[in-house]
Amino acid sequence: MYCMKCGTLLSDSDKFCPTCGAAVAAPESTASLVSVPPVEKSGEEPVIENADPVFDNGFSKALTLMIFAIVGATFGSYPYTALIGLVFSAIARGMVGRFRSAGYQIGPQGLHRKARVSGIFAKVGNIVSIVGLIVSIVMSIVSLCLFIAFLVAVAQNR
């Protein structure tokens, strides 16, 4: 049997493709097997015309998620920029949901190196976005208290 993603020859005991990390589905019948000839190694990666566009390891999405989460947590840790941090952290939380619903794994489960890295980035982004939301909410409350204290001080000096 060959991998439906990259055309690598698989053994019957493989659950994941050793080349691309795609999950190998157990065939229900011989009609569902894909007969793809092995790709010759010529030094450069073969281009698979019908590759599944969802299986791109989610690396760029996970990296974007992690960056948004870090920016959210950073801005959220200062009282006067807490609302900006809250927005970035909320966007990162939404990205976590879309990342999961697209079928990507959060955490280092994938066999392919890039899939593992993107899963780790997504896990870090997930944790940092939760921390960023909590910190942003607390700092928004602190900022509101500081603003009220400033207004009270101005009103008493008149």
Residue 153 predicted with pLDDT over 90: yes
Contacts of 111 (CB under 8 A, 6+ apart): 16, 17, 18, 21
Q: Is the pLDDT of residue 24 over 70?
A: yes
Torsion angle, CA of 91/130/108/105, rounded to 10 degrees?
-50
What's the pLDDT band for 122 if we cut at 50, 70, 90? confident
Which pLDDT score is estimated for 47? 47
Read out DSSP for 2-66? B-TTT--B--TT-SB-TTT-PBPPPPSSGGG----PPPP--SSPPPPTT--TT-STTHHHHHHHH
- Position 50 pLDDT exceeds 50: no
